[in-house]
């Protein structure tokens, strides 16, 4: 038995997955849901309530309680914790945690008798963490772009200044709370913060997640001094080390022996959820694109060359298996599908039925489903728009037409905004909750005219983390791990007869969006 744990600290939950490299199986899993398991944090969707719809923060203590809880769930499920040989993890991207001078001493001496949240609370120099859903930093984006040069910033970091990215968020903290910024000695991402707690140290940030900060120079692969200076004073000294994803972050500290884990086992650098999913779905080599259908929908793929998106919506991140990956994030993912479903008074079975009853092309009916501010394209004020027949535009079309409109429009938007990557993907691997839907998978296959493949393990971010930990300890080629854990379990073929319909519709959608 060669067991490894992959943790997934995501927007709405914390999950743990245990894999056995000998059998190629996921042997156990556990999940902590912030809404049902940790209601005291009042963040059922992962963010604290705020009057300003552009502000989205979380309580980092919630993530710590979730870590304690997920390990105790694994222990209760009688997982042979003492046999676990390594741990890694995946974190929601861009979110940041601000820590004072006590942090190192506290994580270095965690006591078994108290919880993580209780012990780490005094180390927070900012009580809340801005997360990826926050869009409140447009002013800071403009300031950083002006100081560095918009084009240069994109060329060096792989992205123009982006509201949810960590650099603009740090600048806002410095501008609005200068005294607390001054007290901050360490700024971690969600991923490196969680790795720090496991390792009892200040853990490094990996190239995958580090590239989502607007601070990492992708040419030199170190923090860019000038960009850091343009972001906030003294920032570079507050950032952890930056390393390739395959590096060790630390050794598991004795605190976790209360869950039966062996102190000293390697904690491999954590990565962001999207880079981690790239590994988890077996798409670390170029040629296959991935669509992750979750709270946000993301489109990503390993890249042959680190070129950037001329429109500025797409990003370049480090690929945990080496080289780079593209990433495009659509904030209105499952949320938009849910809003349309609820608006029709339907449940998910009705939603599925609607997709099978309506026809490709939807008689030209489509929508811009920005129920919350959108990133691709950038829309700072929620706005929903309709195009098509008068009945549809007045909200009077049948539910099946409305439901097809949201799914087709989302797929067309992905096709439109992924063109800059310059690869004609013939295979798309889908993951995330909505990838279970046959109707959604068929629409993606038809819009892209590509084969859509699913893998058996739904939590690809956690799986990617577990696989990275296993590869660190047991070595071997990553493709060997893909064969064991990420083989295609189901394939959806494109309907060739729809190619022309969607080609025309894409041009119309592009004009509509413009």
Residue among 132 and 386 whose Cβ is closer to ligand XUL: 132
Contacts (CB under 6 A) with ligand XUL, residues 205-264:
212
Q: Binding residue for ligand XUL (CB under 6 A) from 164, 188, 417, 484? A: 164
Collapsing DSSP to helix, strand or coil, 56 comes out as coil
- For residues 188 and 134, what is the distance between their CA atoms, to the nearest angstrom? 17
- For residues 94 and 329, what is the distance between their CA atoms, to the nearest angstrom? 12
**Site mask, ligand XUL, residues 33-72, x = CB under 6 A?**
----------------------------------------
Cβ atoms 204, 189 nearer than 8 A: no
Q: Binding residue for ligand XUL (CB under 6 A) from 157, 298, 376, 409? A: 298
Residue among 402 and 417 whose Cβ is closer to ligand XUL: 417
| 92 binding ligand XUL? (CB under 6 A) | yes
Residue among 288 and 296 whose Cβ is closer to ligand XUL: 296
Residue among 164 and 404 whose Cβ is closer to ligand XUL: 164
Contacts of 98 (CB under 8 A, 6+ apart): 124, 125, 126, 129, 173, 180, 181, 184, 186, 187
In whole angstroms, the minimum distance from the beta carbon of 54 to ligand XUL comes to: 15
Interface segment toward ligand XUL; rule CB under 6 A; list 146-154, 170-178, 269-277, 468-476: 269-277
In whole angstroms, the minimum distance from the beta carbon of 193 to ligand XUL comes to: 14
Interface segment toward ligand XUL; rule CB under 6 A; list 109-117, 136-144, 268-276, 496-504: 268-276
Q: Binding residue for ligand XUL (CB under 6 A) from 166, 217, 274, 471? A: 274
Distance, CA of 218 to chain centre: 20
In whole angstroms, the minimum distance from the beta carbon of 375 to ligand XUL comes to: 7
Distance, CA of 76 to chain centre: 29
Cβ atoms 232, 171 nearer than 8 A: yes
Name the residue with tokens 């790239």: 278
Number of neighbouring beta carbons within 10 Å of residue 294: 22
Q: What is the C-alpha end-to-end distance of the chain, expressed in Å?
A: 55
Q: To which H or E segment does residue 448 belong?
A: helix 438-448
- For residues 276 and 7, what is the distance between their CA atoms, to the nearest angstrom? 11
Tokens in use for 17? 């997955």
Residue among 259 and 299 whose Cβ is closer to ligand XUL: 299
In whole angstroms, the minimum distance from the beta carbon of 14 to ligand XUL comes to: 12
Q: Binding residue for ligand XUL (CB under 6 A) from 29, 43, 59, 93? A: 93
Q: Binding residue for ligand XUL (CB under 6 A) from 143, 163, 224, 273? A: 273
Q: At what angle do helices 273-280 and 460-474 cross, to 10 degrees?
A: 70
Q: Which residues pair with 30 in a beta bridge?
A: 16
In whole angstroms, the minimum distance from the beta carbon of 191 to ligand XUL comes to: 10
Contacts of 469 (CB under 8 A, 6+ apart): 4, 5, 6, 85, 86, 87, 88, 266, 268
- For residues 214 and 141, what is the distance between their CA atoms, to the nearest angstrom? 10
Residue among 158 and 272 whose Cβ is closer to ligand XUL: 272
Cβ atoms 126, 177 nearer than 8 A: yes
Q: Binding residue for ligand XUL (CB under 6 A) from 6, 7, 8, 10? A: 10
Residue among 174 and 330 whose Cβ is closer to ligand XUL: 330
In whole angstroms, the minimum distance from the beta carbon of 106 to ligand XUL comes to: 27
* Nearest residue to 375 via CA among 185, 163, 166, 173: 163
Interface segment toward ligand XUL; rule CB under 6 A; list 47-55, 79-87, 272-280, 434-442: 272-280
- For residues 228 and 233, what is the distance between their CA atoms, to the nearest angstrom? 8
Residue among 273 and 453 whose Cβ is closer to ligand XUL: 273
Residue 360 has, within 13 A of its CA and on its CB side, a CA count of: 25
In whole angstroms, the minimum distance from the beta carbon of 205 to ligand XUL comes to: 14
Contacts (CB under 6 A) with ligand XUL, residues 329-368:
329
In whole angstroms, the minimum distance from the beta carbon of 131 to ligand XUL comes to: 8
Residue among 123 and 316 whose Cβ is closer to ligand XUL: 316
Contacts of 263 (CB under 8 A, 6+ apart): 251, 252, 253, 254, 256, 257
In whole angstroms, the minimum distance from the beta carbon of 507 to ligand XUL comes to: 27
Residue among 214 and 400 whose Cβ is closer to ligand XUL: 214
Residue among 210 and 266 whose Cβ is closer to ligand XUL: 210
User: Peptide bond preceding 226: is omega within 30 degrees of 0, i.e. cis?
Assistant: no
In whole angstroms, the minimum distance from the beta carbon of 207 to ligand XUL comes to: 15
In whole angstroms, the minimum distance from the beta carbon of 331 to ligand XUL comes to: 8
**Sign of CA pseudo-dihedral 335, 317, 273, 282:** positive
Residues that contact ligand XUL, how many (by CB under 6 A): 15
**Sign of CA pseudo-dihedral 271, 274, 280, 284:** negative
DSSP calls for 387-404: ESSHHHHTT-S-HHHHHH
| 94 binding ligand XUL? (CB under 6 A) | yes
Kindly list the residues in this chain that would bind ligand XUL in the complex (CB under 6 A).
10-11, 92-94, 132, 164, 212, 272-274, 296, 298, 327, 329
């Amino acid at each position: 038995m060669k067991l490894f744990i992959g943790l997934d600290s995501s927007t709405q939950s914390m999950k743990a997955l245990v894999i056995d490299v000998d059998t190629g199986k996921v042997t156990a899993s556990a999940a902590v849901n912030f809404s049902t398991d940790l209601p005291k944090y009042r963040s059922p969707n992962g963010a604290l309530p705020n009057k300003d719809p552009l502000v989205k923060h979380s309580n980092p203590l919630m993530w710590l309680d979730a870590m304690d809880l997920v390990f105790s769930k694994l222990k209760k499920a009688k997982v042979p914790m003492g046999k676990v040989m390594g741990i890694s993890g995946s974190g929601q991207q861009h979110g940041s945690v601000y820590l004072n001078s006590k942090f190192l001493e506290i994580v270095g001496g965690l006591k078994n008798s108290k919880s993580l949240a209780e012990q780490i609370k005094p180390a927070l120099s900012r009580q809340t963490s801005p997360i990826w859903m926050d869009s409140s930093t447009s002013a800071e984006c403009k300031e950083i772009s002006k100081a560095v040069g918009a084009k240069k910033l994109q060329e060096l970091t792989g992205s123009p200044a982006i509201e949810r990215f960590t650099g603009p968020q740090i600048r806002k903290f410095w501008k609005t709370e200068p005294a607390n910024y001054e007290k901050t000695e360490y700024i971690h991402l969600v991923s490196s913060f969680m790795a720090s707690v496991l390792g009892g140290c200040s853990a490094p940030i990996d190239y995958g997640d580090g590239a989502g900060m607007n601070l990492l120079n992708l040419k030199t692969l170190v923090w860019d001094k000038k960009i850091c200076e343009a972001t906030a004073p003294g920032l570079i000294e507050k950032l952890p080390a930056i390393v390739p994803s395959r590096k060790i972050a630390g050794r598991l500290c004795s605190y976790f022996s209360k869950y039966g884990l062996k102190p000293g086992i390697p904690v491999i650098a954590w990565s962001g959820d999207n880079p981690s999913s790239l590994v988890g779905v077996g798409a670390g080599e170029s040629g296959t694109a991935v669509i992750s259908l979750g709270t946000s929908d993301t489109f990503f793929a390993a890249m042959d060359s680190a070129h950037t998106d001329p429109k500025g919506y797409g990003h370049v991140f480090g690929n945990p298996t080496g080289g780079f990956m593209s990433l495009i994030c659509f904030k209105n993912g499952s949320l938009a599908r849910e809003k349309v479903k609820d608006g029709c008074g339907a449940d998910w079975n009705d939603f599925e039925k609607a997709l099978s009853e309506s026809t490709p092309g939807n008689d030209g009916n489509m929508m811009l489903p920005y129920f919350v501010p959108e990133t691709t394209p950038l829309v700072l004020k929620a706005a929903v728009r309709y195009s098509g027949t008068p009945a549809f535009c007045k909200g009077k079309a049948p539910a099946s037409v409305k439901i097809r409109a949201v799914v087709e429009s989302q797929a067309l938007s992905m096709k439109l905004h992924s063109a800059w990557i310059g690869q004609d993907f013939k295979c798309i691997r889908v993951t995330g909750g909505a990838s279970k839907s046959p109707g959604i998978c068929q629409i993606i296959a038809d819009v892209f005219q590509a084969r859509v493949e699913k893998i058996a393990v739904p939590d690809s971010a956690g799986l990617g983390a577990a696989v990275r930990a296993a590869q660190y300890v047991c070595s071997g080629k990553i493709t060997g791990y893909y064969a064991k854990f990420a083989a295609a379990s189901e394939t959806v073929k494109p309907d060739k007869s729809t190619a022309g319909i969607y080609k025309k519709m894409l041009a119309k959608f592009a004009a509509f969006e413009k």
